């Protein structure tokens, strides 16, 4: 059942707050803990639908997973130690979990079926299946979308694979498969993508080599026949979730906010870099490391923003933040051109089209040129629209945020799917002063 929600113009968004754990790191922590030998304790795991689907999949593959308060404990079975599940692995709405698990399953000579919800079953898997097929994974029914059935092999072949387009999910799936293959498996990426998999593989004891080339591309290699060891993982706050709170503080007058313990991995900070270019009053405090990842606090105050050009090469470092960046562009003065957004068309929705349609419904001047999104802001937004979220959590949260600064209320048609990534979004935002209801 759909759950509509309306956002109204709000006064200051203020306080100190922590956002839930990073979704990308949470997925990888569970998967690698299952492939390690011995016990792994995970603190700060994101308890959202997508990540809990990963936990259930790991359990279905014979790995004990338990929870004590906010701490998850995983008793890893080692690389090669997983068991065939008795039913299909259901990944709900999680593209990350399903694609990474395909890489894990490639090294097992067992038949496994994978499925998901209606949205996930429309999303392409071919970019992952192609390199994994080169390594030895077989797709039983020839399908390239879920549901599908695969059969792996103990005799995986190591490969050198150049990504046709930057994709952290494809890179990660190949590296996870490479744990089973003899020798070295290498992924060459034309632009750096989020590097949580290689960081966490190294943290668990895998042999990882990263070479940055003169042309800016990166070659990431993993040595096979790996032995991972259980570890203690502390998951930092998700910068993609923090983006909505930061944006609300920027557009609501007299706001002053600190978001604590946010992941600041340089492959994930393109949004914050862009905000500074737009004139945002944004500072990073208390920088430190946690489980191999850089972390810090974000201090933000309401700001007058200006339009900027966001180059295509920045897209991998902020691919999930474009809907909320487009919202901020509507409140900025002048034109913001966001280039090279083809990847947005194959997210939970056609995010490029959904973002443009939502902005237009709120009276914003917006157009799409090829893979570019161009928003012309005037410093104020009329609002008043009803937004079709298309089952996309980031579209829902972006336009609820827009409504907090718009002249007229903004309604989104469904907020039920927000639980996939940020289940406490509404109570957290209202606690900071947001008018949602």
Instruction: Provide the 10 A C-beta neighbour count for residue 162.
Output: 12
Q: Summarize pLDDT for 155-201 with one digit per residue, the tens.
A: 999 999 999 988 999 999 999 999 999 999 999 999 889 999 999 99
Is 320 marked active-site?
yes
Is-above-0.95 flag for pTM? no
Residue 209: HSE in the Cβ half-sphere, 13 Å Cα cutoff: 12
Rg of the chain on CA atoms, in Å: 21
Structure confidence at residue 346 (pLDDT): 75
- What CA–CA distance (Å, rounded) separates 434 from 205? 44
- What CA–CA distance (Å, rounded) separates 51 from 369? 35
Q: Summarize pLDDT for 81-100 with one digit per residue, the tens.
A: 999 999 999 999 999 999 99
For domain 5-21+236-436, the question of CATH label 2.30.110.10 is answered with no
Q: Summarize pLDDT for 45-62 with one digit per residue, the tens.
A: 999 999 999 999 999 999
Which of these is catalytic: 90, 320, 392, 414?
A: 320
pLDDT at 154 over 80: yes
Residue 70 pLDDT class (50, 70, 90 cuts): very high
pLDDT at 291 over 80: no
pLDDT at 308 over 80: yes
Do 137 and 211 form a contact (C-beta atoms < 8 A)?
no
DSSP per position, 167-218: -HHHHHHHHHHHTTSSSEEEEEESS----HHHHHHHHTT--EEEEE-TTS-E
- What CA–CA distance (Å, rounded) separates 137 from 412? 41
CA 393 to chain centre: 11
Do 325 and 338 form a contact (C-beta atoms < 8 A)?
yes
Rounded to whole angstroms, what are the CA distances from 138 to 24, 105, 161, 200, 325? 26, 10, 18, 27, 40
Class at the top of the CATH hierarchy for domain 23-234: alpha beta
Segment 313-318 shows an average pLDDT of 93
Residue 95: HSE in the Cβ half-sphere, 13 Å Cα cutoff: 22
- The CA-based angle 73-74-78, given to 5 degrees, is 155
Q: Summarize pLDDT for 370-392 with one digit per residue, the tens.
A: 999 999 999 999 999 999 999 99
- CATH 3.65.10.10 in the chain is located at 5-21+236-436, 23-234
């Amino acid at each position: 059942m759909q759950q509509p929600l309306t956002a109204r113009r709000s006064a200051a968004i203020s306080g100190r707050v922590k956002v839930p754990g990073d979704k990308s790191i949470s997925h990888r922590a569970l998967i690698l803990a299952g492939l390690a030998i011995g016990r792994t304790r995970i603190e700060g795991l994101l308890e959202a639908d997508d990540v809990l689907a990963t936990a259930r999949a790991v359990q279905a593959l014979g790995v004990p997973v338990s929870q004590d308060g906010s701490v998850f404990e995983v008793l890893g079975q080692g690389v090669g130690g997983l068991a065939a599940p008795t039913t299909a692995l259901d990944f709900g709405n999680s593209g990350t979990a399903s694609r990474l698990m395909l890489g894990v399953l490639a090294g097992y000579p067992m038949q496994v079926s994978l499925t998901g919800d209606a949205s996930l079953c429309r999303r392409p898997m071919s970019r992952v299946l192609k390199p994994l097929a080169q390594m030895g994974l077989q797709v039983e029914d020839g399908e390239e979308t879920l549901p599908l059935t695969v059969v792996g092999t103990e005799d995986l072949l190591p490969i050198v694979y150049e990504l046709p387009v930057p994709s952290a999910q494809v890179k990660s799936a190949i590296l996870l498969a490479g744990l089973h293959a003899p020798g070295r498996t290498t992924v060459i990426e034309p632009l750096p993508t989020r590097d949580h998999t290689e960081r966490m593989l190294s943290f668990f004891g895998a042999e990882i080599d990263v070479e940055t080339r003169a042309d800016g591309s990166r070659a990431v290699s993993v040595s096979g026949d790996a032995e991972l060891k259980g570890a203690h993982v502390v998951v930092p706050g998700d910068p993609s979730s923090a983006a909505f709170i930061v944006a609300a503080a920027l557009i609501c007058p007299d706001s002053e906010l600190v978001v604590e313990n946010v992941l600041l991995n340089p492959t994930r900070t393109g949004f914050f870099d862009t905000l500074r270019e737009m004139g945002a009053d944004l500072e990073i405090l208390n920088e430190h490391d946690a489980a191999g990842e850089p972390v810090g606090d974000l201090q933000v105050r309401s700001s007058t923003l200006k339009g900027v050009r966001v180059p295509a090469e920045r897209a991998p470092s902020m691919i999930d933040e474009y809907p909320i960046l487009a919202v901020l562009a509507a409140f900025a003065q002048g034109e913001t051109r966001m280039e090279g957004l083809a990847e947005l068309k194959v997210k939970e929705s056609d995010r490029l089209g959904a973002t443009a349609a939502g902005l237009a419904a709120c009276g914003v001047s917006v157009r799409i040129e090829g893979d570019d999104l161009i928003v012309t802001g005037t410093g104020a937004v009329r609002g008043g629209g009803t937004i079709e979220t298309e089952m996309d959590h980031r579209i829902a949260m972006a336009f609820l945020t827009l409504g907090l600064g718009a002249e007229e209320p903004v309604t989104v048609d469904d907020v039920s799917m927000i639980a996939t990534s940020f289940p406490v979004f509404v109570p957290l935002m209202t606690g900071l002063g947001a008018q949602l209801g």
